[in-house]
Amino acid sequence: MRYDIRNHQQIRRLLLLSGLVLLSTLVAGGLLAHSARNAVAGASAQELSKLNRFIQSSNVKDDAMKVFRQGRDQIEDENWNGAAATFISFVADYPKHKDVDAALYWTAFALKKQEKFAEADRQLERLIRERPNSNWLDDARAMRVEIAGQTGNRQVVERELDKNDLEIKAIALQSLFQSNPDRAAAFVADILKPGSAADRRLKENAIDLLGQHAGPKTTVMLMELARDQADPKARKKAIFWLGQSGDEGALDLIKEVVMQPNDTEIVKAALFALSQHSSPRAYELLVGFARGASSTELRRDAIFWVGQRGQEAAVDDLTKIYEAERDVEIKKHILFALSQHHSHRARGKLSEIARSGGDVELRKQAIFCLSQHSDEASVEELVKIYDADSNTAIRKQVLFALTQTGSPRGRAKLLDVARAADDIEVRKQAIFWLGQQDEGQAVDFLAQLYDSESNAGVKEQLIFALGQSHQKAALRKLMQIAKGDASVEMRKKAIFWLGQSQDPEAVKFIEEILK
């Protein structure tokens, strides 16, 4: 596989020019430490565009340009050893050439790809020392910082942290965390202290790095930020990382944040942090807030996160809260939380509520939530509920729930209801949902059912369902109805839906009618 120098260009550009956002994302995903070595292999858009533009724009056909082209081709072929040798020879053979700085940079790049970090650093140091006005100077500084963790050159990192180049400073901070976490934490403390003039993006990345490099010192710092940070976004980041830390000492602070609901977004972040914390006590706190948080909105969030934890105890806890609760909307949220807990017991509780003779709205919610399990046992339970219940609203909800499962058994039940249910309204509902499926077998069934149907209301619903389909078979059935149905009203409705389709064949058919 050839190494695409232009694609690598884009990756490095994302890391350096827009790198603060990407850096934060990588940290939050737990990937930054893993990708640190890969990150140094990147190449910025500036670097590669300079190299390619130099080669493409030069009209010189001398030996020096041949060497540059050879080195460029070796980089594209991922021949790192060959590329390093080629650019080293360029510097040796043409020491006064105006592009020695570019050759030094790409020598370092190829050496870095071979994990020869000390050699790469020497090439970069030479570039910076001998060509202080080079267009490659910033790129060389950035690469030195990137590989400082491998070279042990902490002075390079700390020197860059004292400068104002935001992009390089972010990379330097990450490198320092790899080589000396305590020293890095001290820099972060300075960046985040009250009144700090540090860029907001750098502050946010610093918090992410604290969270990624968890330890007693960093946890204490995160707790202070979660309690006192004035910037809401930075405070939420600190709370997030406390939830990831698994540190028991963070739980009292997170609880305190939830119980001071002066900022709903901060409280929501704290509830999420509890849901992510691995401690059993974190789960107990979450259940407590699900029972009695200070607002209905926060209770709903806590209930949702209890369901997401996936613990077996959640079924019992949610059931107890449901049985003690009077607010219908809260009860609906509990049912949804049970639907996210994919266990037999959770499904059993939903089935019990769906079958009960209680509040119809709650039964309908339980029926919908059963469909979210999407297994055959849930589908079979929905079919049984339909067969056992004569309430039209409940039966309609079951039909809708069956459409959510994607089950052949569910579709077969819809076909049976559409064909032969005693309740016309329920039949029409089944026909509607079959029309929404917009697939060939359903269209064929609807067309055949129209031919055998005598009820005008059902036939009208069948025409509507065919009109919702994008299948050619549906359009042709509508054309057949429009051309020769015994009922003028049915012909008119078919023509209407043909006009809505904007299909060329349907348009031509309507034009023929108008002649």
DSSP conformation class of 358: S
* Domains and their CATH numbers in the chain: 1-213 (1.25.40.10), 310-436 (1.25.10.10), 438-515 (no CATH)
For 57-122, the DSSP string reads H----SHHHHHHHHHHHHHHTT-HHHHHHHHHHHHHH-TT-TTHHHHHHHHHHHHHHTT-HHHHHH
Q: What is the pLDDT of residue 97?
A: 87
Nearest-CA neighbor of 244 among 274, 221, 220? 274
Q: Given its phi and psi angles, is residue 63 left (phi above 0), alpha (psi -120 to 50 degrees) or beta?
A: alpha
Q: What percent of the chain has pLDDT over 70?
A: 87
pLDDT of 351 > 90? The answer is yes
pTM of the model: 0.69
When pLDDT is cut at 50, 70 and 90, the band that residue 294 belongs to is confident
Kindly report, residue by residue over 366-398, the tens digit of the pLDDT: 999 999 887 899 999 999 999 999 999 999 999
Tell me the mean pLDDT in the region 164-180.
Answer: 74
3-state secondary structure of 325: coil
Token pair for 267 = 């409280």
Nearest-CA neighbor of 385 among 371, 372, 400, 367? 367
DSSP conformation class of 248: G
pLDDT of 27 > 60? The answer is no
